[in-house]
Amino acid sequence: MNRNDTLRITSRIVWASALYDLLVTIPFATPFTASWLLQRMNQLHVWLGMPGAAMPDFAPMHLFFVSLMGSIVTLWALLRLGRPEPLFGAVDTAGRALFSLWMAWALWNGQSSVLAVFLVLELTWFFVQGGAILWWRNHHEHSRFSAAT
């Protein structure tokens, strides 16, 4: 497989990861849609009798921070959809590690196990995208070094 093929495949994975982020985070981008979605998540938690604390009621200040996160991640996803570059995929992979850490922390502290669904998906994209970035990087470096010798 040549250098262009690895770049094309890696870029497609970065793009797919961005599309996933857009679909998942756009409902969190406004206080109105975030409030609605959080209420649905709480209903799911209660209906399924899931372990952990039920979702709390969110005050306007809480919704501000939720929407701030949703807005920034939505914009970040749009950037990666337009420019699905390995560098952006690498930065996103690091962000996924942080998001996963904070979700695991919340679960450890007894929060709704609805978070476990998000955690599994976040870790899946961490490994898929991170693996693609490492694969591209290794192939890219080998190609550069072999061309120089």
Hey, which residues does 53 pair with through a beta bridge? 111
Q: Alpha-carbon distance 125 to 89, whole Å?
A: 10
Least confident of 118-122, 126-130, 142-146: 142-146
Residues 38-58 have pLDDT tens digits of: 999 999 999 999 999 998 899
**What does the pLDDT average to over 127-131?**
97
State which residues form the domain around 39: 3-148
Separation CA 76–CA 147 (nearest Å): 34
**Quick one: pLDDT band at residue 146, thresholds 50, 70, 90?**
very low
As to burial, measured by CB atoms within 10 angstroms (0-12 exposed, 13-18 middle, 19+ buried), residue 104 is: middle
Q: Report the domain count for the chain.
A: 1
Alpha carbons within 13 A on the beta-carbon side of 60:
0
Average pLDDT over residues 123-128: 98
